[in-house]
Structure 1
Amino acid sequence: MPRINLLPWREGQRKERKLAFLVALGVAAVAAGVASFAAYLLYGSMIESQQHRNDQLRREVKTLDKQIEEINNLETDKLRFIARMGIIEKLQRSRPEIVHVHDEIVHTLPEGVYLTGVKQTERRLRFDGVAQSSTRVSSFMRNIDASQWLRNPELEVVQTGKSTGPGSSFTLTAEQVSATPQESGNAAKTKLRKASLGGAGGRQ
């Protein structure tokens, strides 16, 4: 029986299997590379899209912040305008009162009392003056208490002596009040009566 040498055939099969393995390995490596590249592109696209959305959200937030700031500025301007209008209305309402109060101060001053200063803070009046005697100061306070536009006189300081001259220097405060229409009418009638009496006395 003749011998058959199988070594070359086996060697050929081994080479074929090795080549097939290398080809399969190369195909797998290429497939893995393609898959990795595709995943890289996909993730890159997703990240870029997310960054774009984030940028858009930041722009919208900035726009909203600007609008909120403008609204706050408008609210501040509105409050300032309302406060300014309130001050103007208060001044318009108090203007006639100021005229009446100044006129009332003149009429409440008794003889022998001279004012050196009048200061008003809100509805509180401060009178600085000189009187011939403390009795004159008391008369001034009684006149204030009986006035339609002044109330609650309070004597703070009375000084007598050489430094104040022959009379007494004083400081007192009073509260400005709003007279009712009836009181205002009565005050006006009283002033007209005094004026008419003064005119009649002058003609005599």
Structure 2
Amino acid sequence: MYVVIMGCGRVGAALSAGLDRLGHEVAVIDRNRQAFRRLSPDFRGKQVVGEGYHREVLVEAGIEQAQAFAAVSSGDNSNIISARVARETFGVEHVVARIYDAKRAAVYERLGIPTVATVPWSTDRFLRMLLPDGVASAWREPTGTVAILPLPVHEEWIGRPIRELEIAAGCRVAFIVRFGTGVLPGPDTALQAEDTIYVAAVSGTVSDVTAAAGAPPQEG
């Protein structure tokens, strides 16, 4: 695969090195020639100096033959403009942009440009390391408003229908993993022992959801 990367900071240099090691053809764009010092002396890809959203710079980097483009500079505006040029002008199939502003990330996701919202992603990684198992989210949408998390439940929930758990905990069951296979349950699906339950919950309610599911069902 031929991949063009805009930005040769720490992320861009590491991404370029990883792709190069895997045998892909890589071109790296950065407006600062000194940034290429982050690349290994063994790096076999192309190094292009310039602004990654300028058409002539992208052409020099080989965008017309690229199957993938990653915009990972330090600027949200530069990343999203270059990603749109790669997608809309040159028809690159796989395009992704790093975005620090989570609200912007949500907008561009709706425009069909996959984004990595750095702050929510980093926050979730820290939460997974800091909090007990089952509390941190497994996935969060770009704005950070809704999280999907594995939810431990009290043993007395076994045999109960999923809709009762949803009402009691104030969440939605997204899916369950049963005997190693993902299952999309209906409201009448009964929970079984050994199920791993993944729920969607609004940020800020995770502690309440976890507490409710960890308590036995309340009759009535």
State whether TM-score is above 0.5: no
TM-score (norm 1): 0.26
TM-score (norm 2): 0.25
User: Which protein has the larger Cα radius of gyration, Structure 1 or Structure 2?
Assistant: 1
